[in-house]
Homo-oligomer: A and B are copies of this chain.
């Protein structure tokens, strides 16, 4: 590679380099930082045909109301370097204090550690990061939450990537029914990653290889199998742009292969995808596609709020999204996102019966964001939501259940410190 340079701004929107690789002059001994997101959400609270609360019309994570306020995220972290001793070592610690999948589940609680990593930047072309941190993958989940442009995740990211930690029993149809025993994985794992970024003219080529427990946040493993994560990206940076919303065009691909232990048995869990992002200061485009093979989330049993959760132990799914942004003024962005999740596409014993697992989730999200400044913003979203069961018989009760899905209004005030 000619003209390669490994040095990289800590504030770049290259998520691989954003944490743990601060330049010596940008890395104090210990910098306190974090952010808070406060949501208001509302649906029409259409009931499940059986008269109970429909899970998909209730607010996450308690699923006990169709409207309300929530401190969705409140994170406090510390980051820095061995400054002035050694500019090659960085660390990053963060804890979640909000109310979401990370702080709930049976053993979950506020104060959950989400990140604790040490990065050794001594080796040219092969930085080493050790500990608990985000696994390299889909842009929607890999990017920093403070620059996420919507209130809620797409269906694909929510159900296939933001992994819930569930255990219970498995029935004869390979449907696992259980409860959330611990914090959500939140696309993080404990392990070791080798990675780096190489500059070539305006382009930045990055790679990452990670090897981890595959067992969620701040737990030792629950089996000897480890997960393997691969990631590659190339990004053309426009001009001298910097910061988490820098102007660039990026292409990336990734995969994750691992196993999960459920009721004492190990099942495959594989994911892979590719995507691109574009932002020139006025227009923003993001598109991605990914597939899931093996374990996938099946949702609350019968879509009733409070019931056991289901997991399909050996299924397939695909998801894609197109996300558009347009800055009508420097501090106002209009957004539209279209996302589809085609879940449980594999034919099995229940296919074509009333118990057919196949669902197509389609959501169109219309949004607007106002930026008070770089650190504080408010966003409004309206989600037009649809779920279809294409292979279930016309007379199957599931169609009535899915008809009770409401559209959703949400507002969020966010601040980074």
Contact = CB atoms under 8 A, between A and B. Distances in A.
Contacts of A88: 372
Nearest to A45: B224
Interface in A86-105: 86, 88-89, 91, 93, 95, 97-99, 103
A48 to B, nearest CB: 16
A62 B97 contact: no
A86 B372 contact: yes
Interface in A151-193: 190-192
A68 B211 CA distance: 10
Given A62-B219, A219-B99, A212 B93 contact: no
A113 B130 contact: no
Given A85-B373, A109-B111, A113-B74, A221 B59 contact: yes
A413 interface: yes
A112 B113 contact: no
Contacts of A118: 36, 38, 376, 413-415
Contact of A132 (B65, B71, B111): B71
Interface string A62-91: 101111111100101010101001101101
Interface in A206-240: 212-213, 215, 218-224, 226
Given A29-B417, A93-B76, A113-B97, A82 B376 contact: yes
28 contacts: A32-B78, A36-B91, A36-B118, A38-B117, A38-B130, A62-B222, A65-B221, A65-B224, A67-B224, A69-B192, A71-B190, A76-B78, A76-B93, A78-B417, A80-B417, A82-B415, A85-B375, A95-B111, A97-B111, A97-B112, A97-B113, A97-B116, A98-B218, A99-B218, A103-B218, A109-B109, A118-B415, A130-B413
Closest 8 A/B residue pairs (Cβ): A111-B111, A68-B221, A109-B109, A65-B221, A97-B113, A85-B373, A74-B116, A86-B373
Interface of A: 29-30, 32-34, 36, 38, 40, 45, 59-62, 64-71, 74, 76, 78, 80, 82, 85-86, 88-89, 91, 93, 95, 97-99, 103, 107, 109-113, 116-118, 120, 122, 130-132, 190-192, 212-213, 215, 218-224, 226, 372-376, 413-415, 417
